[in-house]
Every structure is written in structure tokens, then in C-alpha cells.
Amino acid sequence: MKTILVTGSAGFIGFHLSKKLLSEGHKVIGIDNINDYYDPKLKRDRLENLEEFVKKNTIDEKYDFFKLDISDEDKLFNIFKSHNIEIVVNLAAQAGVRYSLQNPKQYVSSNLVGFVNILECCRHFNIQHLMFASSSSVYGMNIKQPFSTIDNTDYPISLYAATKKSNELLAYSYSHLFDLPCTGLRFFTVYGPFGRPDMAYYKFTEAIIKDKPIKLYNKGDMKRDFTYIDDIIDAMKRLIDKSPPLPQSFTVTKSEAPFKVFNIGNNEPVSLSRFIKAIETVLGKNAIKEFLPMQAGDVPITFADVDELRDFCGYTPDTSIEDGIERFVRWYIDRNDKK
């Protein structure tokens, strides 16, 4: 069993990953700054759920949580110094394409300064494997489908995407210079229970229940490679103990480094109409639709090529949008009934 640091552990993916790792006997060190990008109560509820899980299974010695920001170099260094951390999963980041238009400095602080702090700690404390969150947004307006990790990603169309591309470049340089095994994860529209309330599926469910209109950008002509949270966690679990090997050969344009980037998607883009229909079916209500033009920084379609990930670790997503949405909506209704 490993001692694993999960940054952003009060976030959507971090919460689910921490719970899975604990259930498998790993020791988890969780950190999160509990910022107010969205309602901090949801983050605190995730932490409370995680703490209840720990107590129920009498594994208190397996879990420690610290409230801190990864941009705080000294406090982050002390966490590494005081714990025998073997693997790091960096999920702490300022998320959201649209919010990056309003608050760019927050993205610089968390996604750039914070990430360099993580890399420096990994370097100095001989971490066995760093996994870090990237994003499908790095593909920008790429018209080739599906998106492949060998595609050019030099033209991000949002600051958020630019910071995630920068994370990949920074990680590659540290991997090459210091033999630090690094795996980047390009997530494709993750959804499910305890998900982020700024995401479309969350907003749509709330609006339909309250008989309010839902906003459909690009006049509804959108497709997304929605990936259910359990499939995401399955992929991450497979990759944690399978750090990228050192390549056996290299070229003048690609030096040796134990570094890989993978798409983490469902490999099936779903139309917005099918997505909304899935929510309507579970709720037994039709949506009121408001059609709007495309927003700056957004793209009309995302589609993940996951063949490389499948070959590397046997990843096979198997949750349909209908099944995943039903699980989320049931959770959403139950959560609100308890308020």
C-alpha cells in the first residue's frame, strides 16, 4: 500500500479518488484550499462524507486532511517534509473556461505558481510518480476528430486551456531533467454525484426542476464526450501504480523522459439534445430552452481517442449517458430533499 497525496481532495474528482484509494488500503494525505469558486458547502459536504467513510471503516490512521493552497510554497513543502509521500495526484487547480475571462490572476496563482510548487516538492522529495490534471480544452478549435494525444495543442483558445497546456510542458521538462515519472490526464467533461454545480448537467437539472429556462449555447448545436466519474476513477486507479517507463529511443525533437499524457474520456460524443433528454426522462419534465450564440473560449465538440489509454492499462469506460445521468439526478434529488 502507498502513501498518496491528493491535492484538491475536496473537489469533485479528488473526493471520489480519495475515497477509492482509502477503500483499497492506501494512506491518503488530502489538501484543499476550500475556495469559493462555487459554494464551499458542497466541498465541506464532500469532506464530511469522506470523514464519515473513514470512521465507519475505522481507518482514521489512513487519512489526513490539511486546508492549504498549493501556491503557498512553505506550507506545501512542510506537508511533504512531514509525511513519507510516495505518489502525488495533483487535482488542485482553478477550473472553468468562462471564469478565466473574469479572474485570470487566480489561474496564474493556482494553475501555474501552484503547479511549479508541486513539481519542486516532487523533485526534492523523490516522489515515485506524479499524476496531474490536464484538460480536453487544450485541443482548442482542433477540427480533427477524435482528439488524439499526438494532435497539435499549440493554440489554446482560453486562459484556462493555456494554463493546462503549460502544466504539461512544465511536467515534461521536470520529467526529463530530474527523471520524475509524470502522467498528465486530459479529462473530458466529467459528471456524476457530488459534481461541480457550475457544470451544465447540474445547472440543467436544477433549472428543469424549478421550471426555469436552460441556456443552450451555439443554439444547442454542441456535443461533449461526457465521462462518468466512476469511469474516471477507474482509469486513475489503473494508472497510479503504472508510471510511464523511460522510452527506449528518442529523436532530436523528443528527448528521453518518463512522461505520458492520456485522454480520459468516454470515446462517445453525446449531443446536447440526447443529454437533455436523459435529464428530462428521469425528472419526468420537459426543459424550457433558451438558445444563445457560442461563448468565447468554448468549442462545439469534444471527442476523446482513448485507444492509447486502453492499450496501456486496459481502461474501458462502460457508463452510458442515460445511466450516469440517472445516478446523478437521483443523488441531486436526495441531497435537496435532506436540506
Rounded to an integer, the average pLDDT of 273-297 is: 88
Q: pLDDT (tens digit, 9 = 90+) per residue, 79-118?
A: 999 999 999 999 999 988 778 888 899 999 999 999 999 9
pLDDT of residue 248: 52
Residue given cell 487519512 in the structure block: 63
Q: CA-CA distance, 89 to 6, in Å (whole number)?
A: 5
pLDDT at 164 over 60: yes
Q: At 247, is the pLDDT very low, low, confident or very high (cuts 50, 70, 90)? A: low
pLDDT of residue 99: 81
pLDDT at 276 over 60: yes
Q: Are 22 and 58 in contact (CB under 8 A)?
A: no
Residue closest to 199 by CA, chosen among 229, 159, 233, 219: 229
Q: Which residues contact 332 (CB under 8 A, 6 or more apart)?
A: 193, 202, 205, 206
Q: Which residues contact 268 (CB under 8 A, 6 or more apart)?
A: 225
Q: Is 101 within the bounds of a domain?
A: yes
pLDDT at 250 over 60: no
How many domains does the chain contain in total? Answer: 1
Q: Which residues contact 114 (CB under 8 A, 6 or more apart)?
A: 69, 70, 71, 92, 93
Q: Is 186 within the bounds of a domain?
A: yes
Q: Is 86 within the bounds of a domain?
A: yes
Q: Is 276 within the bounds of a domain?
A: no
pLDDT of residue 249: 52
Segment (H or E) for 230: helix 229-240
Q: Is 290 within the bounds of a domain?
A: no
Residue-level length of the chain:
339
Ranking 12-21, 147-156, 287-296 by mean pLDDT, the lowest is 287-296
Rounded to an integer, the average pLDDT of 287-313 is: 83
pLDDT at 252 over 50: no
Q: Is 136 within the bounds of a domain?
A: yes
Q: At 289, is the pLDDT very low, low, confident or very high (cuts 50, 70, 90)? A: confident
Q: At 180, is the pLDDT very low, low, confident or very high (cuts 50, 70, 90)? A: very high
Rounded to an integer, the average pLDDT of 298-315 is: 87
Catalytic residue IDs: 160
pLDDT at 165 over 70: yes
pLDDT of residue 208: 96
Q: Name the pairing type of β-strands 270-271 and 223-224.
A: antiparallel
pLDDT at 294 over 80: no
Q: Which residue has the higher pLDDT, 333 or 302?
A: 333
Specify the 3-state DSSP secondary structure of 30: strand
Q: pLDDT (tens digit, 9 = 90+) per residue, 23-58?
A: 999 999 999 999 999 999 999 999 999 999 999 999
Q: Is 94 within the bounds of a domain?
A: yes
CATH number for position 174 = 3.40.50.720
Q: Is 67 within the bounds of a domain?
A: yes
pLDDT of residue 253: 47
Q: At 162, is the pLDDT very low, low, confident or very high (cuts 50, 70, 90)? A: very high
pLDDT at 265 over 80: yes
> What is the reported pTM?
0.92
Instruction: List the domain range (segments joined by +) for residue 52.
Output: 3-194+227-267+303-318
Rounded to an integer, the average pLDDT of 221-232 is: 90
